[in-house]
Amino acid sequence: MTERTRRGERMPEPFELFALRYANHPGRRAVDNMIGGDPHEAGSDLDYFVWVARRSDRVFVIDVGFGEEQAAARGRHLIRRPDEALRLLGIEAHRVEDVILSHLHYDHAGTLGDFPHARFHVQDAEAAYATGRCMCHGFLRQPFHVEDVVSFVRCVHAGRVAFHDGTVELADGLTVHRVGGHSGGLQVVRVWTRRGWVVVASDASHLYENMRRKLPFPAVHDVGAMMEGFAVIHRLADSPDHVVPGHDPLVMAIYPPVAPDLAGIAVRLDAPPQPL
Ligand SMILES: [Zn+2]
């Protein structure tokens, strides 16, 4: 699917790009959100999202969130299940063919069973990390839910996982890129939209503040790689306004809602953000 730009280059048909907010975690302190944060300062809430890149020929769901059990176990407020959130865009989870998992943490890979016909796109390094020796350490294991990892392994054995190593083009106008730091093999997604190249950074940066102040989120596997990752995601995006962090409530405030009744629930990332 291509179209011509004014300069005559052939560019892919742009994807529509959406963020769907499905959960929230209020009452955090600055130190909960960044290493080096002020211990006396209140911190931003975390919002939890799934993302969708959609055009006439393909639909990619990016991450699948968590359900009721992990919300209760970890004290997160589940607003709606991720499959219900997708339905707001007219997407039925059981019909989705392609799911990109940015990484396998509980809040990104917790509802694989709702996508029985999907192929899951994962980095080799993330699969190895989530099933390897690092999981012997409680600190590194904590963001994973073992049942999600088991579900993932079942998908591997069912031939439903597409493994990627580094930068891979999944469609004309959509690529995944491994960014180290937060997890063993996190990947970000670069998407061609009507406003240019947008990067769904997922947990390469939880909040705008992590990138801006260059302070890593405390759930981290490799601090140096996470710091490098801030530069990588900015290199991949057309501007800082084209980088979408993984958990920032500001995303709902600065991007336009998909429809007036979906304000705070579903926004368009293919439209420019409004300054606050
Ligand atoms: Zn994570």
CA of 202 to the centre of ligand 1 (A): 8
Q: What percent of the chain has pLDDT over 90?
A: 85
Any idea where the domains of the chain sit in the sequence? Answer: 14-268
Give residue 38's Cα distance to chain centre.
Answer: 27
pLDDT of residue 206: 95
Model confidence at 96: pLDDT above 80 = yes
Tens of pLDDT, residue by residue over 134-165, are: 999 999 999 999 999 999 999 999 999 999 99
Tens of pLDDT, residue by residue over 245-263, are: 999 999 999 999 999 999 9
CA of 7 to the centre of ligand 1 (A): 40
Can you read off the two tokens belonging to residue 107? Answer: 């809040």
CA of 13 to the centre of ligand 1 (A): 31
The pLDDT mean for the chain works out to: 94
CA of 204 to the centre of ligand 1 (A): 8
CA of 4 to the centre of ligand 1 (A): 38
Which CATH architecture fits 14-268?
4-Layer Sandwich (3.60)
What number of helices (H) and strands (E) belong to the chain? 9, 15
CA of 238 to the centre of ligand 1 (A): 24
pLDDT of residue 38: 82
- Residue closest to 183 by CA, chosen among 217, 233, 232, 148: 217
Can you read off the two tokens belonging to residue 29? Answer: 């302190």
CA of 102 to the centre of ligand 1 (A): 8
CA of 6 to the centre of ligand 1 (A): 40
Q: If you search the block for the tokens 């992590």, which residue do you land on? A: 210
CA of 111 to the centre of ligand 1 (A): 15
Min mean pLDDT across 21-30, 46-55, 103-112, 180-189 is at 21-30
CA atoms within 13 A on the CB side of 39: 0
CA of 254 to the centre of ligand 1 (A): 23
pTM score, two decimals? 0.95
CA torsion sign for 33, 198, 167, 96 is positive
* Mean pLDDT of all residues in 44-60: 96
Tens of pLDDT, residue by residue over 179-224, are: 989 999 999 999 999 999 999 999 999 999 999 999 888 888 999 9
- The runs of H, that is alpha helices, within 39-95 are 68-74, 82-87
CA of 203 to the centre of ligand 1 (A): 5
CA of 108 to the centre of ligand 1 (A): 7
